[in-house]
A and B are shown apart, each in its own frame.
Chain A
């Protein structure tokens, strides 16, 4: 599935990324220099030779076409909201209400539904590998990278129309401001003011519709350099709940989808460019 050539190219890309990082550090004093670097970085994000996330896109495509499960069929007839097998622009409108499941689903919930119902696949192993690690790929991360990439260049337009979508939005908003746990944290503790940081880490304000939340939500899934993995919103929210000293949220639980609906609605109109690269 992965040509040796491709792996090598990604290797070169990574080397470029690191070299770029170093030169940016040096040139940080000069605004024009760093602007150029940012421009180069932007180009790199969408360049399959420089962004390791495109390995996941390729693997995801292969998984999409792979016949498996008791029904021995591929996912190609999976309906992500735009009709069976239609991928272009589907991710831009997720999460959304699905009539067949009578439920609002994010991309991963929907993929799981298709695996179980269309393919008759036992998803136990897929769920066990929900978060990839060195030497252990994640079907979900690969599939999401592939599917989301088919909405690159489009605008985020998560619908909040159906009564269940509206419920999700309202619940997501309430959960965003819900304080709890031994440190009294809510999402809003860290993400509802402009220009704040935790240690040296800048915190995007995600609580109101503007550029910050658009840049955030339009750039997931992302290849996280610090983890050497493509990560999805399911992973990001899991990691934030960890920082919040809350319990580990259940994978594919509706609360995470509700938060995603709220955040995506705030980010409406965001330019999607994925998989991106982040810290």
Chain B
């Protein structure tokens, strides 16, 4: 039933044609809001939140640069962000980036954690499937990011590639400034162990990602 309803709403999006497009006065010039004005609005919008929550939406320099440039940085700014984010990546002390792919599979599926509706002790996931295809068997995947199917296999299960994937997941912007992918390690959305498990999900030959 639920699937049928989703199909219905999807069909609607495609089919609804009762809308007229008017390109009229949208080109009207409205000047850009001063950053201080925007900050004041944002602050007022979340006035009721706790200090912990408020702290989470204080922008860092990278978020600020990406927001103000709609994710398209000048070359100089791009290099600056890249260097800063690269420097933030912390690899496991023993240099080993491989964990347990079965745990990684759960983390890739799990979209819980970090929302104001979640109980504070919720163990959060990476919600990789929200944006990526991974295992062929999972049909419910998003398309905001590229398919990661056979990710390790394509890379011949190489250790340096697994390390690069660890860095990518730890901080996506250490590879690609202003990426839409969350910086899971930097913001502690995922723990070191969780990132290792997810890397294994991508790189273990037994993982369904590589089947």
A197 at interface by CB-CB < 8 Å:
yes
B 1-56 contacts with A by CB, 8 A: 1, 3-13, 15-16, 18-26, 28, 30-33, 37-38, 41-42, 44-50, 53-54, 56
Q: Are B6 and A175 touching (Cβ within 8 A)? A: no
The interface-forming segment of B97-105, B150-158, B179-187, B198-206 is B179-187
Query: With A182-B56, A215-B19, A279-B6 given, is the CB distance from A198 to B142 under 8 Å?
Result: yes
A56 at interface by CB-CB < 8 Å:
no
A265 at interface by CB-CB < 8 Å:
yes
Name the residue of chain A whose CB is nearest to the CB of B182: A183
Q: Are B47 and A250 touching (Cβ within 8 A)? A: yes
Q: Are B11 and A24 touching (Cβ within 8 A)? A: yes
Enumerate chain B residues within 8 angstroms of A279, measured Cβ to Cβ: 5-6, 9
- Whole-angstrom distance from the CB of A209 to the nearest CB of chain B? 4
A245 at interface by CB-CB < 8 Å:
yes
Name the residue of chain A whose CB is nearest to the CB of B144: A196
A148 to B82, CA, bound (A): 48
- Chain A contributes a number of interface residues (CB within 8 A of B) equal to 77
Enumerate chain A residues within 8 angstroms of B74, measured Cβ to Cβ: none
A198 to B9, CA, bound (A): 15
Q: Are B11 and A34 touching (Cβ within 8 A)? A: yes
Against B, the Cβ 8 Å flags (1 = close, 0 = not) of A258-279 are: 1000000110111101000011
B75 at interface by CB-CB < 8 Å:
no
Q: Are A35 and B15 touching (Cβ within 8 A)? A: yes
A76 at interface by CB-CB < 8 Å:
no
- Whole-angstrom distance from the CB of B121 to the nearest CB of chain A? 16
Name the residue of chain A whose CB is nearest to the CB of B141: A199
Query: With A170-B33, A184-B183 given, is the CB distance from A250 to B188 under 8 Å?
Result: no
A249 to B43, CA, bound (A): 10
Enumerate chain B residues within 8 angstroms of A160, measured Cβ to Cβ: 28, 30
A 166-193 contacts with B by CB, 8 A: 166-167, 169-171, 173-175, 177-186, 188-190, 193
A214 at interface by CB-CB < 8 Å:
yes
Q: Are B26 and A265 touching (Cβ within 8 A)? A: yes
B92 at interface by CB-CB < 8 Å:
no
Q: Tell me which of A24, A155, A171, A185 contacts B7 (CB under 8 A).
A: A24
Name B's A-contacting residues (CB within 8 A).
1, 3-13, 15-16, 18-26, 28, 30-33, 37-38, 41-42, 44-50, 53-54, 56-59, 63, 66-67, 70-71, 114-117, 129-131, 139-144, 180, 182-183, 187-189
Residue pairs across A and B with Cβ atoms less than 8 A apart, 7 shown, are A21-B4, A24-B4, A166-B30, A173-B33, A178-B67, A179-B59, A201-B6
Name A's B-contacting residues (CB within 8 A).
18, 20-22, 24-26, 28, 34-35, 37-38, 41-42, 155, 160, 166-167, 169-171, 173-175, 177-186, 188-190, 193, 195-202, 204, 209-211, 214-215, 218, 225-226, 242-243, 245-250, 253-256, 258, 265-266, 268-271, 273, 278-279
